[in-house]
């Protein structure tokens, strides 16, 4: 928990600092005075004044701001009433071009930071699930899912989904996840022939993302042993490969829990391979233990608890699959290329997600708020420096892009005001600006509340 909190505050602090530093440096370059540079909102915890600028750390760490001379000036329409010195250094009395550059500098700095950090992560080396970069050859089809209904079988290679080429499992998974409730056109290769199928994509209600029951090839190799369970007592070890269960050949990890469940609590004949030797064992499964509810979660249990399906308490022998990962490490030139490729991919994905949200093709459940970002930040920090840097790069990129949306209170809203001013030849009225800012702020708060609500549900629900 401490790692999550500290890493979240550090990462958010860096991203906010870089963003506000962009506004600050460009304002100074344009000859605009800066009154306050604050990390955080609300009550000021620490302040130090240097020159005309007060540098502060404020109580609410979910953002920051740079307050410029004249930025809130109510006398925009009457410049003759403003002293010459103040007017010369006022933000609102600079040209539209200079003001646009000051506004753009914040998001631009976030995007630049993302472009710099991503290659650095590849140079350090990133651990990724091995299957993500492999061709999307289906290893298992979940029964009663979209993949089963479409007629997909193990061994099929997905070539394209809705016309988008799928070279890797990562591109296929992203395409499925961002099209919940849709029926996708699937092109596959089966036994050397190209076929076209229709793939129904279901919606995972808890997260609002799509799932079709497509599983990559996962060999039935034991990765972990649970203490006190039959597998440990029988002498099964990590690295053992399950060959058969009660005479049924096993070729994929996903067969194991289903075969154990079908067999029940009766003694189970297990054949496994270890160091080229075949070993036969008899193991009696035991019921799955009830998950212990953390102390902090207990007060909420009666509000969020759901009846557990019978399968949750079904038989198990206490083994976990082997998670195969690969360390990807590159030299400077390759890392720059890989980083750029990843940034372009994430940029396209971000715009695609925004478009689907606006067209109601994607639920707000798919978005993550501060709680989810904190959780993922903590997980990335525990995984290592490269994962944390890569995650920070992705968040910085999204922060830069989202800040450019033409929504009042965001930088894109200011740019929209400036565009209207340049077209009209005069600033929009202060009253219109205040109303639009209030509406924009209300919408932003509503969005934060909604995504935070879904974050809490994900956290509390089993």
Supply the residues annotated as catalytic. Answer: 20
d(CA 442, CA 446): 6
Among candidate residues 328, 327, 349, the one with its CA nearest the CA of residue 339: 328
Strand partners, 197: 186
Do residues 157 and 189 lie in contact, with contact meaning Cβ atoms separated by under 8 Å? yes
Helices (H) and strands (E) in the chain, counts: 13, 20
Provide the terminal-to-terminal Cα distance of the chain, rounded to the nearest Å: 19
Structure tokens, 338: 């890989």
Q: Which residues contact 324 (CB under 8 A, 6 or more apart)?
A: 129, 130, 131
- Other Cβ atoms less than 10 A from the Cβ of 175: the count is 23
**CA 23, CA 34: separation in Å to the nearest integer?**
10
Residue 81 CA to residue 381 CA, distance in Å, equals 54
Alpha-carbon distances, residue 362 vs 49, 133, 203, 211, 242 (angstroms): 46, 26, 10, 13, 40
Assess contact for 118 and 346: CB atoms under 8 A.
no
Q: In a 3-state reduction of DSSP, which class is residue 387?
A: helix
Structure tokens at 437: 């800012």
* DSSP letters for 57-104: EEEEEEEEEEEETTTT-TTTT-GGGS-HHHHHT-GGGS-HHHHHHHHH
Contact (CB, 8 A) for 175 and 162: yes
What's the rounded Cα separation, in Å, for the pair 259 and 270?
Answer: 11
> How many angstroms separate the CA atoms of 381 and 236, rounded?
32
């Amino acid at each position: 928990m401490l790692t999550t909190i500290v890493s979240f505050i550090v990462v958010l602090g860096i991203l906010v600092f870089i963003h506000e530093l962009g506004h600050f440096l460009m304002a100074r370059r344009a000859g605009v005075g800066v009154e306050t540079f604050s990390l955080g909102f609300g009550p000021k915890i620490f302040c130090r004044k240097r020159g005309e600028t007060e540098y502060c750390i404020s109580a609410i760490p979910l953002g920051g701001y740079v307050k410029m001379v004249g930025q809130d000036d109510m006398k925009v329409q009457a410049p003759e009433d403003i002293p010459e010195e103040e007017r010369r250094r006022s933000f609102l009395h600079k040209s539209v071009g200079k003001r646009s550059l000051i506004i753009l500098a914040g998001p631009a700095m976030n995007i630049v930071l993302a472009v710099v950090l991503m290659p650095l992560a590849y140079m350090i080396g990133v651990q990724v699930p091995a299957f993500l970069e492999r061709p999307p050859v289906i290893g298992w089809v979940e029964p009663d899912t979209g993949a089963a209904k479409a007629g997909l079988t193990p061994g099929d290679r997905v070539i394209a989904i809705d016309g988008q080429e799928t070279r890797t499992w990562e591109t296929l998974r992203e395409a499925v996840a961002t099209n919940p409730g849709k029926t996708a056109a699937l092109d596959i290769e089966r036994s050397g022939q190209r076929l076209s199928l229709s793939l129904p994509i279901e919606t995972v209600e808890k997260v609002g993302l799509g799932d079709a029951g497509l599983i990559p090839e996962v060999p039935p190799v034991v990765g972990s042993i649970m203490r006190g369970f039959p597998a440990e007592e029988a002498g099964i070890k990590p690295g053992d490969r399950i060959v058969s269960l009660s005479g049924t050949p096993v070729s994929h990890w996903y067969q194991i829990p289903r075969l154990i469940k079908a067999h029940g609590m009766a003694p189970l004949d297990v054949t496994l391979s270890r160091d080229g030797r075949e070993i036969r064992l008899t193991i009696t499964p035991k019921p799955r233990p009830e998950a212990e509810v953390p102390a902090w979660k207990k007060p909420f249990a009666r509000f969020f608890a759901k009846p557990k399906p019978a399968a949750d308490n079904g038989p198990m022998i206490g083994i976990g699959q082997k998670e195969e990962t690969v360390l990807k490490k590159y030299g400077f030139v390759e890392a720059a290329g890989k980083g750029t490729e990843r940034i372009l991919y994430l940029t396209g994905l971000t715009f695609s997600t925004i478009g689907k949200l606006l067209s109601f093709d994607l639920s707000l459940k798919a978005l993550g708020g501060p709680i989810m970002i904190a959780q993922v930040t903590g997980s990335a920090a525990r995984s290592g420096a490269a994962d944390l840097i890569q995650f920070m790069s992705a968040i910085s990129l999204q922060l830069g892009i989202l800040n450019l949306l033409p929504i009042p209170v965001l930088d894109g809203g200011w740019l929209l005001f400036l565009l209207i001013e340049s077209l009209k030849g005069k600033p929009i009225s202060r009253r219109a600006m205040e109303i639009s800012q209030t509406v924009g702020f209300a919408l932003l708060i509503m969005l934060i509340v909604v995504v935070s609500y879904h974050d809490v549900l994900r956290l509390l629900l089993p």
